[in-house]
Structure 1
Amino acid sequence: MFEVNDIPPIDGWELQQLIAENVQHEEFLFFRFYAGDEQDYFGPDSYTKRYECFCTACRERFTEPHSAGPASKWRICPRCGRSVTPKRWAANDHAAALRKVSFAFHFFQVGPHGELWLTSCQVRMYPYFLIEKYTAFEYCRYVFSAAGAKKWSWQYDGWALRKNCTFRHWYDMGGGRRDDFWVLPSEQELAASALRYSQLTEAFAVLHDLTGYLALYCKYPAVEYLWKMGFGRWLQEREQGGGDYFRRLVNLRAKEPKKLFRGLGKADLRLLREKQPSVSAAAEYKRLKTAGVVRADDTGICFATSASIVRFDTLFLADRCGVTAPELRKYMEKQARRSAQLLPTLMQELMDYHDQLARMQIGGEKLPHDLHEAHARLSERERRLMNREKNEKFRTRRHLLAWMRWKYKGMFIRPVDSAEEIVREGEEQNNCVAGFADRHADGKTIIMVLRRCSEPRKPWHTVEIDPATLKCRQCYAAHNHKRTPEAAEFMDKYLDHLREVTKMIRRSA
């Protein structure tokens, strides 16, 4: 196996040229005042004030007369015509500007034994630009061959071998990630290497961790057939966290392409290539196909995709319902046709329905005739059971606050009636009053509803009263809009009424 110093050497000037040819970045035009050659009293520039300039794009040093305009406004180099950023040429200014141009540069080299080496460099523009344009520092080396893959990273005491070949980015001192520039091997170079069948170009266009993919190819060369069969995007999903589904679906240890997907035939692969499902949906399709639940058709891939979206375990739920898995699939498809609901929605409703039966410890139909209606009915029943204790508190509060009811000019106000009503009030008014349910039930606040007598069941304004001072904390219309002038007049009169009532109570006491 190869060692870190087996990498093919590259000349410094050759590396400078490689970077210059493949990297586009900000270029500068540095300028300073220049009064001509003081020793040449009779020269043409002796008494002509000029700018002394240096362009980092063409690396030319030249002078321009002041009559050409202020150099701080130049955006094009007068010599090479390249776009530039003008900067004053001073001891610190030009060095600071050049140091800001930094990036990561990665390039491949083919070794003498057909191995492919990748070098990652930290590159900055050289502050003393009269010597060279770039300064490059290697921070990672990789080698890929038929014997496997290796990665080394630079430490303070030298190169250190790493356990994995995942790609390493370059981060600056502030934690920001630098831009990456790649130079891929040419077709001739790649054809002469051990990675000639790695589909490197396709992988580079799709994947983020190219080195991880190349290490995977070195270990399992069968991965090339995924690109050829049209399933390369599954490698991207594997990279983004779908590795478990990928392993269930693909057998990378296969010695020949036909054994790459165990349990799937040619018709299945044609269907997967045509529909292009996610790797999780394809893994679920394989599982259901192996169990005889679905067939290689559009309905089969649709059912598997829906099941993967909501994590619907068809085999487990079929056993729970006392039917076969194909019968459960037919039941779900029939429910989707009759209720006009999406299949993933109905799958979620069936799982919720069985969870509700278990929580409430009641019997019921395992597969109701109308799933959507049965789920809604059971959800309402569960809400009533959950709100029973809270509604007892609401009922007590309603009796204690009965004296706060009041009518005036075709409007009336009363305490909220139940937990269900405060939730409905929040939904119809599009506000957060439902979050005050517990505080109202515990007596920490008072929630009232203000309505018109002509429409007693239609929400109009929601009111919060301070139980200690009987002052109005909030009074808003729908969508938390300000109260109407009519409601404002009512609330002013209502608060006066509350003050009179409390005075009468204190006198009688």
Structure 2
Amino acid sequence: MYTVWNTEIYCRVNDIYTYYSFFNKLVNEYDYNAKDLWLYLDRIKTFEAVEDMSFLIRELCDYANMMNQLSSKYDKYPRHFLTTHKIACRNYNRMKKEFSEELFKKRINKQYECSFGDYIFIYPDSTQDIKDEATMQNNCVASYIDKVIDGECHILFLRKRNKPDESLVTIEVRNNHIVQARRRFNDDVTAEDQKTIDAFNKKFANKEDKAA
């Protein structure tokens, strides 16, 4: 009993040490707000049914470490953390890849930048812009950078005119036609989004891709 009791105490003390060690790392190294972080961990523990708080904070620290290396624009407090962390792990190696900015810039086609009502289409200026989009949208658009460089497609960002820096819909264009459009977590677009997409396709129908 003495040995078992000591083992249980050791494990509990170790868990507490682990928790505060990673908590402090998130605050001091990744600029998390201590109060917001505490409330976030408590909410995720409750709504995602995580019983081991030490496990949860280690996973969050791992997520912050990966995302911080790829883009400063990541969501520090994702609503669905466990799903977001899985997506981040899947995309991490893809997004670490270095690409030729010179080749990418040759593919940039600013003719696609246009606006319809409250929406604007933005062409990324660099491969990092696409990595930022992947991070903010929690999707795999970074894996399309090679396709852009190879001339297979274009990637555009559909955003609200009054919020041009806020990710909304990630767009894939082939042969002057939008073939794929997804919101965050690859959710479907709204009816309003679709009207704008249809207007884009109508505008560029039968036009030649000048960057092809």
| TM-score, structure 2 normalization | 0.54
The DSSP-based 3-state class of the residue aligned with 1:475 is strand
Are 2:199 and 1:497 equivalent residues in the alignment? no
The DSSP-based 3-state class of the residue aligned with 1:483 is coil
Mapped partners of 1:493, 1:424: distance in 2: 26
Are 2:110 and 1:411 equivalent residues in the alignment? no
Map of 1:117-196 to 2, 5 A cutoff?
none
Give 2:173's match in structure 1, choosing from 459, 465, 471: 465
Cα distance change, pair 443–491 in 1 and its aligned pair in 2 (3 A): same
Q: Deviations over 1:156-205 (max 9, x none)?
A: xxxxxxxxxxxxxxxxxxxxxxxxxxxxxxxxxxxxxxxxxxxxxxxxxx
Mapped partners of 1:479, 1:338: distance in 2: 27
Give the aligned partner of residue 394 of structure 1. Answer: 104
Gap regions ≥5 residues in structure 1:
1-229, 231-269, 278-296, 307-331, 350-371
| TM-score, structure 1 normalization | 0.25
Cα distance change, pair 439–490 in 1 and its aligned pair in 2 (3 A): same
Mapped partners of 2:67, 2:200: distance in 1: 40
Give the aligned partner of residue 488 of structure 1. Answer: 194
The DSSP-based 3-state class of the residue aligned with 2:205 is helix
Give the aligned partner of residue 69 of structure 2. Answer: 379
Are 2:130 and 1:440 equivalent residues in the alignment? no
Give the aligned partner of residue 50 of structure 1. Answer: none
Map of 1:334-373 to 2, 5 A cutoff?
336=21, 339=24, 345=58
The structure that is helix-richer by fraction is: 2
Are 2:4 and 1:273 equivalent residues in the alignment? yes
Q: Deviations over 1:462-481 (max 9, x none)?
A: 11111xx3222112233333
Gap regions ≥5 residues in structure 2:
27-53, 72-91
Mapped partners of 1:439, 1:501: distance in 2: 21
The DSSP-based 3-state class of the residue aligned with 1:448 is strand
Cα distance change, pair 378–477 in 1 and its aligned pair in 2 (3 A): closer
Q: Give the Å deviation of 1:454.
A: 0.5
Cα distance change, pair 494–340 in 1 and its aligned pair in 2 (3 A): closer
The answer (yes or no) to whether the contact 1:431–1:479 under 8 Å persists in 2 is yes
The answer (yes or no) to whether the contact 1:387–1:419 under 8 Å persists in 2 is no
How well do the aligned residues superpose, as a CA RMSD in angstroms?
4.2
Q: Deviations over 1:258-314 (max 9, x none)?
A: xxxxxxxxxxxx4x421446xxxxxxxxxxxxxxxxxxx849x845x89xxxxxxxx
- Identity, % of aligned pairs? 17
Cα distance change, pair 495–302 in 1 and its aligned pair in 2 (3 A): same
Q: Deviations over 1:327-373 (max 9, x none)?
A: xxxxx98x828816669949x98xxxxxxxxxxxxxxxxxxxxxx9x
Mapped partners of 2:97, 2:58: distance in 1: 26
Cα distance change, pair 434–337 in 1 and its aligned pair in 2 (3 A): closer
Q: Name the count of aligned residue pairs.
A: 156
Q: Deviations over 1:57-111 (max 9, x none)?
A: xxxxxxxxxxxxxxxxxxxxxxxxxxxxxxxxxxxxxxxxxxxxxxxxxxxxxxx
Mapped partners of 2:185, 2:152: distance in 1: 24
Mapped partners of 2:165, 2:102: distance in 1: 22
The structure that is strand-richer by fraction is: 1
Map of 1:252-291 to 2, 5 A cutoff?
270=2, 272-276=3-7
Q: Give the Å deviation of 1:485.
A: 2.7
Q: Give the Å deviation of 1:444.
A: 1.9
Q: Deviations over 1:230-271 (max 9, x none)?
A: 6xxxxxxxxxxxxxxxxxxxxxxxxxxxxxxxxxxxxxxx4x
Higher relative CO (CA 8 A, sep ≥ 6), structure 1 or 2? 2
- Please say which structure displays the higher CA radius of gyration: 1
Give the aligned partner of residue 122 of structure 1. Answer: none
The answer (yes or no) to whether the contact 2:134–2:142 under 8 Å persists in 1 is yes
The DSSP-based 3-state class of the residue aligned with 1:389 is coil
Amino acid at match of 2:184: A
Amino acid at match of 2:205: R
